[in-house]
Chain A
Amino acid sequence: MPKVPKPEELMKIDYRPPAKSWMDSKPEFRPGNFCNAANPKWLDVIDYPYPREWSVTDDDWKLPDNWKDIVLEGMRDRLDRFRSFRLFLDICVRCGACSDKCHFFIGTGDPKNMPVLRAELLRSVYRKYNTIPGRFLGRLAGARELTEEVLKEWFYYLYQCTECRRCSLYCPFGIDMAELTILGRELLSSVGINTEWSLASVASCYEKGNHIGAPPHAYYDMIDFFCDECEEVTGIRPNPSFNRKGAEILFIAPSGDYFADPGTYTFMGYLLLFEYLGLDYTISGYAAEGGNFGYFISHEMGKRLNYKMYAEAKRLGVKWLLGGECGHMWRVLNQYMDTWNGPPDFLEEPVSPITGTRFENAKSTKMVHVCEFTADLIRHGKLNLDKSRNDHIVLTFHDSCNPARAMGLLEEPRYIIRNVCDCFYEMPENTIKEKTFCCGSGSSLNPDEYLETRLRGGLPRANAVRYVHEKHGVNHVGCICAIDRAVFPALFEYWVPDVDVTGIHELVGNALVFPEEKKRKTDLRGRPFKGVTPEELEQEEE
């Protein structure tokens, strides 16, 4: 893993654009600012074109001979299929409103990370081959030839976009860089340019069921382990079922919640909540991944992975689907799933078996967000919650990009938080809700070799956390995204040490009071509740 500079060095950001025109400068690949090239074996698994060994730092990327025709034809094809693509390439007026909205621009100062200029990288090629002024006036009309240099530049900057949509919020025409990034990455994939982390995740999801490549029986073991942990802390052993036919609900969590801390505590929270309710649900080893890593490389791959959810719901004969806390996962479930793989007419309109609430907002997709489900339970007084059990946690809440800007799930998690936790402080207004900042590692930018760029991209988020950490003593950031939970620990360790990360259902798990539980002294992580003395803790251990 490349060495990362110290925070004070990373903080020296120069926002002054260089003298040289952006059309003439090219990115310099150095350790820490690019994701590694994909291993050809992953491309074979998912039938992706041009599998080969190559390296980003090599001059020769071993592109197919006719790569230029493939990319230009792919661009024309997408211009005909996506109104968004054509429109967003046509109507930008370069007002600059988006320029300082991108976390990667704020964190790097690189002018091509201004969404407007990142989009111009594609636009300049579009103009050259698809517009009259571009064809005849060339550079004067902002048009450029497509060369290998330009293609490498696309790779560099399209993998410095997390598809968080913050630019789209501020654009007077709603131009969405996420849309351009997705389509641009499709063009890169069409000539065999993919990153290792994303392709490994996609191929593992495709064949094994989740991005870590855990087969069904391994996932089953992990859940069993979480049940042991829950029992140790609470005295209650959850009794989830696995691949069970005839259950009422199929629950799908992002794999981040069962393979690494602190996501695992969120999973324990889910298990305890469902046990408390006596919910008739099952977990699947086939539709084992909520997060859709395919969506990070193409619409088609997103659809191929998303297929499993409805297919498994049908096979198991459940009535409806419940989804865990995850960001891009919910962008897909909210905006794409029904179009791709619906209509799920074999399912029923979701009704909470506990409160009788009909989730009319999900009457077509039949999939409910676990925060919507839990907020409804609390509202109906169905949960016995002891807020004081989260008194050792001083919380702030990070709105994950996609639930905020591709869904609008803002109040449900806050309602839950206010009912399970007393010490809750919001970050500054311009950094939360629809204006939230990305973690800096979304859309498959998680790899370790990319840490420096991730830390730069995560700076605006971490800086807002630092603000509430210093002002209110915040020591935990709550979030509803598995990628957040996976990448925030490293981000905060770097920028705001002493701040931890938690899922919302971990807090629910802490606060939930079971009728026959043992005397609880610790939270789900085994940390003592506020007011529990070391002696009391020791007593327990004996």
Chain B
Amino acid sequence: MSFNLAFYVPLCAVIVLVLIPLAGITMGLEALFGIIIPYMALLAFVIGVVYRIVLWARTPVPYRVPTTAGQQKTLAWIKSDNLENPHNMWGVVGRMAMEVLLFRSLFRNLRSELREAPGTPEGGRLVYWSSKWLWLGAIAFHYLLLTILLRHLRFFTEPVPYFVKLIDSLDGFFQLYVPAVYISGIALLAALMYLLARRVLDPKVRYISLASDYFPLFLILAIGITGVLARYFFRIDITAVKELTMGLVTLHPTIPEGVGSIFYLHLFLVSALLAYFPFSKLMHMAGVFFSVTRNMANNNRVVRHINPWEYPVKVFSYMEQEDMFRAEMKKAGIPLEKDTEE
């Protein structure tokens, strides 16, 4: 896919997504953007994600093929590495926890480079060095997103649970501005900008990127920016917003006065993300748990793995081979099953 197609089409798509609610609100369609679309988007998200997960879960795992990244368990005196090469369930749980919570595999990342080496006949040598920037950008983005999601629970709960208040106060620790500035929001935008810049500026990553790689980046950026605008610049009426969101949660939807267009815009973009999620690569969130090279123990020689659809195959038997070479085998003195001369 060419860069123009991959980059500008999703950018325009997100711009259109921004314009839709702005136009809608001027036409007085608050109920559509505040109630109907969020509900439909949530429904699409739940049905879509469940459908995809069920499809993966129902597809058989014919072979147990973990990628091993450490010493296997064999002889008692050789130290095995149960986290990098799990041999039991605890190892698998540990490995998956490291993968999901710490992005273990990404942390392993190296960069390879071909350097000039004038002294050698071929004039070059390869070097590899540890490269953690992608890991840092990715883990920062995901944890910040999680923090922000949890922080938003204060709009959907009454009374607000203690841990949400705690996150809120920690996140807003720096009272630089009124209202208190959430570090997570600003940092999320920075992490997103890094991931976007990397995609555009690294020639290899730019070459492999599809429209479906840029679209979620633009969309989440737009969600972040509208959130920041709503809080710090438009300073929207939080009480009114909470009335609306609690209405959604309690299934008694209502459209209070004075919520402001920027909120509807923010909500609409979130709805778009929810509806888009099941069709997209964002499903990696659930997919990682199904990864057959990570979520199984390397214990094939101890516990037989059953393939539900294994079928009998045509084979070449020993007797067919002996029939083919009996005379020569006999001459060589190799024991036979059937000696024709006897």
Contact = CB atoms under 8 A, between A and B. Distances in A.
Interface in B118-148: 120-126, 128-129, 134, 138
B26 interface: no
A394 B294 CA distance: 37
Nearest to B64: A335
Contact of B283 (A81, A91, A220): A91
Interface stretch (B37-45, B151-159, B182-190, B315-323): B315-323
Contacts of A407: 68, 72, 298
Interface string B296-327: 00101111111101100111111001001100
Contacts of B80: 408
B62 interface: yes
Nearest to A461: B126
A243 B334 contact: yes
Contact of A81 (B59, B206, B213, B337): B59
A286 interface: yes
B239 interface: no
Interface in A281-322: 285-286, 299-300, 303-304, 307-308, 311-312, 315
A169 interface: yes
A208 B321 CA distance: 7
A338 B304 contact: yes
Interface string B58-71: 01111111111111
A74 interface: no
A407 B81 CA distance: 12
A354 interface: no
Interface string A10-35: 11010111000111000000000000
A406 B85 contact: no
A376 B65 CA distance: 26
Contacts of B309: 81
A524 interface: no
B341 interface: no
B110 A101 contact: yes
A231 B62 CA distance: 48
Q: Chain A at the B interface: mostly helix, strand, loop or mixed?
A: helix
A515 B121 CA distance: 48
A235 interface: no
Nearest to B292: A84
Interface in B170-208: 202-208
B74 to A, nearest CB: 5
B78 interface: yes
B243 interface: no
A101 B60 CA distance: 29
Contacts of B16: none
A99 B205 contact: yes
Nearest to B103: A172
A39 interface: no
A246 to B, nearest CB: 10
Given A170-B108, A311-B317, A82 B62 contact: yes
B59 A217 contact: no
B5 A140 contact: yes
A411 B335 contact: no
Given A379-B75, A406-B68, A434-B68, A172 B138 contact: yes
Nearest to A312: B318
Contact of A304 (B81, B138, B209, B315): B315
A285 B52 CA distance: 49
Nearest to B5: A140
Contact of A411 (B78, B109, B112, B208): B78
Contacts of B108: 169-170, 435
A418 to B, nearest CB: 13
A116 B72 CA distance: 28
Contacts of A21: 1-2
Given A90-B287, A132-B279, A176 B208 contact: no
A405 B68 contact: yes
Given A83-B61, A139-B5, A342-B304, A221 B332 contact: yes
Contacts of B160: none
Interface residues of B, number: 102
Contact of B211 (A97, A142, A217, A300): A142
A448 B136 CA distance: 44
Interface stretch (A150-158, A186-194, A357-365): A357-365
B234 interface: no
Given A23-B1, A463-B125, A434 B69 contact: yes
A133 interface: yes
A217 B212 contact: no
B124 A364 contact: no
Contacts of A1: none
B27 interface: no
Contact of A87 (B56, B66, B69): B56
Given A100-B112, A170-B108, A216 B301 contact: no
B328 interface: yes
Given A11-B123, A334-B301, A410 B71 contact: yes
Given A10-B122, A379-B75, A339 B84 contact: no
Interface string A155-176: 0000000000100111111111
A398 B340 CA distance: 49
Interface string B269-285: 00000000001010110
Interface string A332-344: 0011101110110
A141 to B, nearest CB: 6
B287 A173 contact: yes
A391 interface: no
Nearest to B213: A94
Contact of B1 (A139, A242, A463): A139
Nearest to B337: A315
A460 interface: yes
Contacts of A430: 110, 128-129
A106 interface: yes
Nearest to B95: A174
B292 A83 contact: yes
A99 B208 contact: yes
B205 A94 contact: yes
Given A87-B287, A362-B301, A116 B208 contact: yes
Given A139-B5, A408-B81, 16 more contacts: A22-B208, A81-B309, A83-B290, A94-B208, A95-B205, A96-B204, A100-B204, A106-B126, A117-B207, A175-B291, A217-B331, A299-B63, A338-B300, A365-B304, A406-B67, A430-B110
26 contacts: A21-B2, A22-B208, A79-B59, A87-B292, A94-B281, A95-B205, A96-B134, A117-B208, A139-B1, A142-B211, A173-B105, A173-B291, A175-B293, A176-B67, A217-B334, A285-B334, A308-B315, A334-B298, A336-B63, A340-B310, A405-B67, A405-B69, A408-B70, A409-B74, A411-B79, A434-B68
Interface of A: 7-8, 10-11, 13, 15-17, 21-23, 47, 79-84, 86-87, 90-97, 99-101, 106, 111, 114, 116-117, 120, 131-133, 139-142, 165, 168-176, 179, 206-209, 215-217, 220-221, 242-245, 285-286, 299-300, 303-304, 307-308, 311-312, 315, 334-336, 338-340, 342-343, 357, 359-365, 367, 372, 375-376, 379, 404-412, 415, 428, 430-431, 434-435, 459-460, 463-464, 466-467, 495
Query: Top 6 closest A-B pairs, CB basis?
Result: A408-B72, A91-B287, A174-B293, A17-B207, A7-B122, A408-B68
